[in-house]
Structure 1
Amino acid sequence: MAVQNNKAEGTVLLEMKHVKKSFDKSGVLKDISLKVREGQVVSIIGPSGSGKSTLLRCATLLEKMDAGELIYLGEKAAWEQDDKKGQKRCVYAPKDKLKQIRSYFGLVFQSFNLFPHYSVMKNIIDAPVCVNHVSKNEAKERAKKLLAQLGLSDKENAYPCQLSGGQQQRVSIARALALQPKILFFDEPTSALDPELTAEVLKVIRQLAQNHMTMIIVTHEMQFAKEVSDHIVFMEQGVIVEEGTPDELFSSENARVREFIGKVSA
Structure 2
Amino acid sequence: MKVMELKGVRKSFDGTAEVLRDISVGVDKGEVVAIIGPSGSGKSTLLRCAALLTEMDSGELSYSGNKAAWNDEQGRTVYAGDLKKIRRCFGLVFQNFNLFPHYTVLKNLTDAPVSVAGRSRAAAENVALELLRKMGLSDKAGCYPCQLSGGQQQRVAIARALAMQPEILFFDEPTSALDPELTGEILKVIRQLAREKMTMVIVTHEMAFARDVADRVIFMDGGVIVEQGAPNEVLGAPKEDRTRQFLARFSN
Normalization by structure 1: what TM-score?
0.93
Is 2:186 the counterpart of 1:196?
no
Query: Is contact 1:51–1:236 with CA below 8 Å preserved after alignment?
Result: yes
Structure 2 counterpart of 1:54, from 21, 36, 45: 45
Alignment partner, residue 76 of structure 2: 89
Alignment partner, residue 206 of structure 2: 221
Unmatched 5+ residue regions in structure 2? none
Which amino acid letter does the alignment assign opposite residue 208 of structure 1?
Answer: L
User: How far is 1:262 from its partner?
Assistant: 2.3
**RMSD across aligned positions (CA):** 0.8
CA, structure 1 residues 139+191, in 2 after alignment: closer, same or farther (shift >3 Å)?
A: same
Structure 2 counterpart of 1:23, from 9, 13, 38: 13
Which amino acid letter does the alignment assign opposite residue 14 of structure 2?
Answer: D
Is 2:140 the counterpart of 1:149?
no
Normalization by structure 2: what TM-score?
0.98
Which amino acid letter does the alignment assign opposite residue 217 of structure 2?
Answer: I
Is 2:69 the counterpart of 1:78?
yes
Deviations 1:63-88 (A, max 9, x none): 11000100110011000011xxxx32
Q: What pairs up with 1:1-266 in 2 under 5 angstroms? A: 11-26=1-16, 27-82=18-73, 87-95=74-82, 98-250=83-235, 251-266=237-252
Q: Distance in 2 between the 1:149 and 1:176 partners?
A: 14
Q: Distance in 2 between the 1:149 and 1:94 partners?
A: 37
User: How far is 1:265 from its partner?
Assistant: 4.8
Alignment partner, residue 3 of structure 1: none
Unmatched 5+ residue regions in structure 1? 1-10
Runs of 4+ in 1 over 4 A off after TM superposition: none
Q: Distance in 1 between the 2:248 and 2:142 partners?
A: 44
Query: Is contact 1:28–1:50 with CA below 8 Å preserved after alignment?
Result: yes
Q: How many residues align?
A: 250
